[in-house]
Amino acid sequence: MELLSVIRRWHHRDCIPIREIERRTGLSRNTIRKYLRADAVEVRFKVPERPSRLDPFADKLS
């Protein structure tokens, strides 16, 4: 996600305050602080595995 790198660049290199980053991105200050403190390069969202709606009909379809 390139937004995380943009936020870090603005804050560390360009010395833009968190409130200004909040205005530019529309994210909350808490989220921006969390992104700045995180050591992760990308934000990864957990996506639970969900069964497909077509699973009950897989035999008929194949």
- Whether 12 is in a domain gets the answer yes
Total domains in the chain come to: 1
Confidence of residue 27 (pLDDT cuts 50, 70, 90): very high
- Whether 58 is in a domain gets the answer no
What is the domain range of residue 20?
A: 6-41
Confidence of residue 45 (pLDDT cuts 50, 70, 90): confident
- Whether 53 is in a domain gets the answer no
- Whether 24 is in a domain gets the answer yes
- Whether 49 is in a domain gets the answer no
- Whether 31 is in a domain gets the answer yes
- Whether 29 is in a domain gets the answer yes
Instruction: Average the pLDDT over 16-24 and give the result.
Output: 95
Q: Where would I find the H helices in 1-62? A: 2-8, 18-25, 29-37, 58-61
Q: Among candidates 38, 48, 51, 45, which has minimal Cα distance to 8?
A: 38
